Structure 1
């Protein structure tokens, strides 16, 4: 595998080779009309993403609506959305909204939610010399209420993994989920590190579905480093804010 600095398609192909990781990968294809039509025939929701990008810029969510014999299609981007009658019109619109020419289309996963907002988790995987890969911490991110991406720079909210999992698992259950995520994170790093000689940090974005199964959304080779003291303060602030939202609903 050639070094591919954060390229989603290259990472997907490399991770697919590992049978212990393959089952946690959402189906992904390089974007073309044939791939777009094929993916929407199998999945009710897909995401079109720049093959190389950051902060959720240029990401679009495409959903198939209505009965199978007469579907319509909705595209969400930023805080906006448009609906189309045919898959061809939908594809043409997606092409017109690209921020780069090279895109992938990825199976959409129905993620767990926090205050009705889907969330994911970033694992900050680090390695010192010949030591094994370790997760130095989770960055939990809930999407902006009117957006499809969880990135904090795009309006997402930082929430601790303990608070995110609280409605879905007790203390023992949380520890099992965390252990499973960490083990999967280590496998991913071990599979990819050969393409990045000397790399010491991966940022792995994972989501959980309703069965608490983890899904690998993407792997970042240049994630922003985290000030964990600052993050803990932010978690406390956002927990209080989240509690006020919950009470008001």
Structure 2
């Protein structure tokens, strides 16, 4: 049976928030509209506007109210910020992106930083050999300087979870936090399976805020397994590959 893939971020988010246990980890997400943008900016000050479907962080826009009345609002896609003195001007500036396809608005999360660069985590979750959800890898993705997104394909840097968290937690705290994220990853897999029973693998993008609360920004049902090859601990990639081969996510090479 083919591995199930789900493109819509909205659809996956709606499944996650049905869980009372997981709801606390999902930032408020709504469909894009002018009035929703206004109300969420008034409440949170910063939001992310993102396409309902898409990969590699393409099309993600950070939008925020500025502290300077003359500047009004700031929005940024990739590295170059644009200022709009009025809300009307902001909406006009965003229209070139949001008018093309369905967009969502998500409450902004102020990410932890590693050496003054924002980072989030990719939590790899797979069906194991017992057909149970298991978190098999957690890596840090550090944004390129001034970039909005952390994605590797947008210039981000892959680092170990321990390295990116070393500025924020002690070694024993890092180990405990890793265990917490592994449980969260498996819970995400179980919950999404209630709506999509043929899922076999997923990559959860998890942001850690300045109070060390984890937030599930989105879930990719076609995660890229090869990024784990870059880690010094090769056992991580071997496990990811072993499980993927078992459920048909990767194709075995001849002689391997």
Q: Give the TM-score, by structure 2 length.
A: 0.84
Q: Is the 8 A contact 2:122 2:140 kept in 1?
A: yes
Count of matched residue positions in the alignment of Structure 1 and Structure 2: 231
Quote the Cα distance in structure 2 between the aligned partners of 1:164 and 1:143: 12
Deviation at 1:29, TM superposition (A): 0.5
Quote the Cα distance in structure 1 between the aligned partners of 2:11 and 2:5: 7
Deviates more, 1:40-49 or 1:5-14: 5-14
Q: In structure 2, the residue corresponding to 1:212 is in which secondary structure?
A: coil
Deviation at 1:15, TM superposition (A): 0.9
Deviation at 1:197, TM superposition (A): 3.0
Deviation readout 1:17-74 (Å, 9 max, x if unpaired)? 111111111111000111111111111110110000000111110011127x887100
Partner of 1:11: 12
Q: In structure 2, the residue corresponding to 1:29 is in which secondary structure?
A: strand
Deviation at 1:209, TM superposition (A): 1.0
Q: Is the 8 A contact 1:50 1:99 kept in 2?
A: no
Partner of 1:44: 45
Deviation readout 1:52-106 (Å, 9 max, x if unpaired)? 0000111110011127x88710011122111111112112211213484100011
Deviation at 1:146, TM superposition (A): 2.1
Q: Is the 8 A contact 1:119 1:142 kept in 2?
A: yes
Partner of 2:79: 79
**Within-5 A mapping of 1:149-160:** 149-160=149-160
Deviation readout 1:98-141 (Å, 9 max, x if unpaired)? 48410001111011001111101001101135432111111210
Structure 1 unmatched runs, 5+: 235-249
Partner of 2:224: 224
Q: In structure 2, the residue corresponding to 1:63 is in which secondary structure?
A: strand
Quote the Cα distance in structure 2 between the aligned partners of 1:133 and 1:6: 20
Deviation at 1:223, TM superposition (A): 0.9
Deviation at 1:231, TM superposition (A): 3.0
Alpha-carbon spacing, 1:93–1:29, altered in 2? closer, same or farther (3 Å): same
1:29 aligns with 2:30: yes
Structure 2 unmatched runs, 5+: 235-256
Q: In structure 1, the residue corresponding to 2:205 is in which secondary structure?
A: strand
Quote the Cα distance in structure 2 between the aligned partners of 1:147 and 1:128: 35
**Within-5 A mapping of 1:229-244:** 229-232=229-232
Q: In structure 2, the residue corresponding to 1:210 is in which secondary structure?
A: coil
Q: Is the 8 A contact 2:47 2:107 kept in 1?
A: yes
Quote the Cα distance in structure 2 between the aligned partners of 1:99 and 1:143: 27
Quote the Cα distance in structure 1 between the aligned partners of 2:99 and 2:171: 43
